[in-house]
A and B are shown apart, each in its own frame.
Chain A
Amino acid sequence: IFIYVFFFFNSKSFPFFLFYESKHRCEYVCRVKANAGALTNFEVLDLLNSRGASKDTTRVIASETVSRSEYKVYDYLMETAASTQTRDSVTKFSDKCKGFKLAKAEILNIINLRPSSDVELTPILEKPDEREIDIEGILALVQELLPPLPTVEAHKENEQEETEDGEQPNMETSV
């Protein structure tokens, strides 16, 4: 096995080698609990922040504690709603959501995406028409409790969050 491993290390198929190694690992690793709890994007970002990840471009200081692959996750999460959320707002929101008869996965998804309109919320819900979900109520709660999305410089307009009660929206192109 060791010779095999050495051969792969030198070839172009570097990612292939890494997976092969870890597949071997799987046979030995015994899973105590495959799913010990779902995490919101906010919680993962919080974990990385507590390790010292930051937006600073040199990233030399924290490189002891935060690896390159963890930084890729950090970069992704900083562009989502998780970057402006606080533990308080997320806990309050998921408590208040209990009144809306949503599945846990849907609440998690709403926290991660922070929809601000009907058309953003509907794809998250499963069979919304059959379940009589209070869409306006949920959007109002999102607007009230969850901080707005981060403003990315690439965005041409600032998100003006308004609760949406529109039915099928008409597709209008911005010409």
Chain B
Amino acid sequence: MQFMLLFSRQGKLRLQKWYVPLSDKEKKKITRELVQTVLARKPKMCSFLEWRDLKVVYKRYASLYFCCAVEVQDNELITLEIIHRYVELLDKYFGSVCELDIIFNFEKAYFILDEFLLGGEAQETSKKNVLKAIEQADLLQEVRHKTLRRLKLYSRIGREM
């Protein structure tokens, strides 16, 4: 995989991970062009794009677009599943993930991604193992984060009431 981008329906970048060395200028240019291209596509169109000399695989989950660039010979469907697995991981970790979780805890989202993909290759495909690794790291962290999650839970309950 060459890079992964997460951006909102408004075109705001939420997460970026580059597995190939590119200058900041190039990254910005690619991001801008790709976000435009993907946002312009209609929902019924296929999730793959031939873009420059790369293959772009994207999928929309609610208000977020997950977008991966892979080499032309790579398997598009499995890339789509990589995206899906990542969403599953986020979902499991945050407990019904939403865009806000990713905005406010983007470093966590990065940690999860790093446990799942290393250097652009899937390193751990077992959901349980990825989460175990992240939770181990979290145990070390003080309660701050737990409080956060509890707060979020309260807020949800509050909304339902």
Interaction A to B: no
Q: Which residues of B are in contact with A by a Cβ distance under 8 Å? A: none
Q: Which residues of A are in contact with B by a Cβ distance under 8 Å? A: none
